[in-house]
Amino acid sequence: MKTIYASILLFFGFSLLGQTQEKGDQEESKQINIVYGANFTKNEVEYPGASIFSKDDRQVQFEHQGADLWCDVAIYYQKDNRLEAIGNVILKQGDSVQMTSKKINYLGNVKLAKAWGNVVLTNSDMTLRTDTLRLDREKQEAYYKDNGTVIDSSNTLTSKIGKYFMELKKYQFLDSVHVQNPEYTLDSEQLDYYTSSKNAYMYGPSTINGKTYKIYCERGFYDTKVESGYGIKNTRIDYNNRIIEGDSVYFNKVNEFASATNNITVTDTINNGIIRAHYAEVYKAKDSVFATRRAVSISVQERDSLYVHGDTLMVTGKPEERLLRAFRNAKFYKTDLSGKCDSIHSEQKTGITQLIKNPIIWNGANQMTGDSIHLKSNLETEKLDSLKVLENAFIISLDSVSMTGYNQAKGINLFGQFIENELKIIDLIQNTEVVYYLYNDDDELIGIDKTVCSKIRITMAENDIEDLTFYTDPDGDIFPEKDLPENSRILKGFVWRGDERILSKDDIFDEDDNNLELVVIKGIDNPIDIDAEEQQRSQNETDPINNIQPKTKATGPKKSTTSKKVK
């Protein structure tokens, strides 16, 4: 029994001795070590408890857990495990990081260094200059708050506050951030910058000024090497006489390309035109815009803007030669004139707008159809000048008194004249026919005029028929209502499409347009991890086969866990 008891005591004794030895080893490993002390002295009055070392023909040197420090004078508090290094201080961490300054205070227990005076931190990717810098070797982070400058192979970056994450090779710049590059400048409220990839993530009001473009956003990404990126909050790009705005806007300088997704506005600053859509692409070299998803082109005029819609819109050509094309389910609207067809072609140089395939227009309550319809604008005033309805021209309006009969006029071709954007004169040519309800001043029906001739001129006032003039052997009469059968009151080819009439600019959109579900833009309501995104970008750069660059970005940067909160 005594033997067992003694064995237990012996076991615990060795255990306690081992724990004490291990604790001692751990404390010793945390201790700052003197490598070269040179001249030694003490000054208990000014530096109680400290050992003072000063250089001779070489500097004083200390070592601590993978870091070496050189200086002219060192005040070493061994008990507290801290060091004050003064004069030509150099701190090296392995082969990757070096910091120089006039002075460093170093706390060995927490591996924290604070440097003052012309501080320069360098590694293989960049150089940081500031007056005061805190270096946390435990977290591998460096921090300044009194202005700093970072220089790498591409950019010079300055800010009032900055933090460097060594393992990620990432800077977080706060307050008055400025990036200077020979090709552009970037200013931001906050910027996360990766020194290896040269990628920047912007937060808060940010502006990039390039030689041929200007970008503004309040959250976005920018590849500073190739001048490419996107914004996902209040983004605007001024690009080649156009302003592009949208929920998510992508830009690529090399490809001379920009695109946008959701709630887009593309403004033509020269021709005073606007395109709105939920997806658009802009090609600088071709001077063109492609838009779809509830797309509409707006020609802004002083009193009455023109709205053109199609499943797809394309605007191409130089400013003075712009060509607008609306494809599939094309519609247009202005106050007194609207229409629809399969496609619309409008040419800036000639002022001619063509309605192609199954065209129909409404001038007020007057419905006009034909095989092809052309509208011509005055190039100087940009107001409507004339109208052509070619082949099978037909005008119909509901009799506004009886609300049962229809006034009709038809011919081979129709030519109209506008005055101050209002249709005033209509000429129907060849094989013309008319059915027209005549009333006196008391709105009593006089009769129904049914006439055939070679030409009819219709004079309009406030989008209503004011007068009819028949040319070249008119043949017809005014019939009492009872003497003209119902089937004789309808001309051949009559098709009434009043239920399709476009009464407002909102009517150019159909049900599918109005019920369109927008794509989700990642980065705001459903943020993503930018450190993970940056890692993915780096993998794509090393795997060119799978590195497919999208034309527009429906994603964006997330506030990283190390970021300062952005209001």
Tell me which residue of 113, 112, 130 sits closest to 121, measured CA to CA.
130
pTM of the shown model:
0.78
Q: Which of 57-71, 448-462, 535-549 has the lowest mean pLDDT?
A: 535-549
Residue type, 560: S
Query: What pLDDT, on the 0 to 100 scale, is given for residue 196?
Result: 86
Structure tokens at 465: 């028929």
271 or 111: which carries more pLDDT confidence?
111
| % the chain with pLDDT above 70 | 88
pLDDT over 80 at 333, yes or no: yes
Residue type, 189: E
pLDDT at residue 520, rounded to an integer: 82
Over residues 241-270, the mean pLDDT reads: 91
Q: Answer yes or no: are the C-beta atoms of 69 and 98 closer than 8 Å.
A: no
Q: How many CB atoms lie within 10 A of CB 132?
A: 17
Residue 453 or residue 29, greater confidence: 453
Query: What mean pLDDT do residues 431-459 have?
Result: 91
Phi and psi, residue 380, nearest 5°: -85, -50
The whole-number pLDDT of residue 27 equals 52
pLDDT interval class at 11 (50, 70, 90): very low
- Is the separation of the CB atoms in 90 and 120 below 8 Å? no
C-alpha pair distances (Å), 86 with each of 55, 62, 112, 248, 403: 11, 13, 16, 52, 100
Provide the token pair at 98.
């070096």
Residues 6 or more apart from 69 whose CB is under 8 A from it? 61, 62, 63, 83, 85, 89, 90, 91, 92, 104, 106
State the sign of the Cα–Cα–Cα–Cα dihedral 106, 111, 115, 120.
positive
Average pLDDT over residues 188-198: 91
C-alpha dihedral over 34, 36, 38, 39, to 10 degrees? Answer: 0
**Residue 492 pLDDT > 70:** yes
Cα distance between residue 501 and residue 506, in whole Å: 12
Q: How many CB atoms lie under 10 A from the CB of residue 187? A: 17
What is the pLDDT at residue 15? 41
Going by pLDDT thresholds of 50, 70 and 90, the confidence category of residue 29 is low
What pLDDT is stored for residue 270 in this prediction?
A: 84
Contact 218, 226 (CB under 8 A): no
CA separation for the pair 179, 187 (Å, rounded): 6
| Average pLDDT over the chain, rounded to an integer | 85
Q: What pLDDT is stored for residue 10 in this prediction?
A: 34
pLDDT, tens digit, for every residue of 493-541?
A: 999 999 999 999 999 999 888 998 888 887 656 556 777 777 777 776 5
Tokens (6 digits) for 471: 């040319």
Higher pLDDT, 6 or 134: 134
Torsion of CA 14, 20, 25, 27, to 10 degrees: 170
* Joined tokens for residue 359: 């065209």
| CA atoms of 170 and 163, how far apart (whole Å) | 8
pLDDT in tens, 151-171: 998 899 999 999 999 888 899
Alpha-carbon distance of 22 to 514, in angstroms, equals: 73
CB atoms within 10 A of CB 254: 8
For the stretch 75-134, pLDDT in tens is 999 999 999 999 999 999 888 889 999 999 999 999 999 999 999 999 888 899 999 999
Residue-wise pLDDT tens digits, 372-412: 999 998 888 778 889 999 999 999 999 888 888 999 999 99
Separation between Cα atoms, residue 195 and residue 473, nearest integer Å: 87
Q: Which residue has the tokens 């429906």?
A: 554
pLDDT > 70? residue 559: no
Report which of 31, 35, 53 is spatially closest to residue 111, judged by C-alpha positions: 31
**65 vs 319, residue with greater confidence:** 65
CB 266 within 8 A of CB 284: no
Contact 459, 467 (CB under 8 A): yes
3-state secondary structure (DSSP) of residue 137 = coil
**Burial (Cβ within 10 Å: 0-12, 13-18, ≥19) of residue 120:** middle
pLDDT on residue 12? 38
Q: What is the mean pLDDT of residues 544-561?
A: 38
Token pair recorded at residue 270: 């020269």
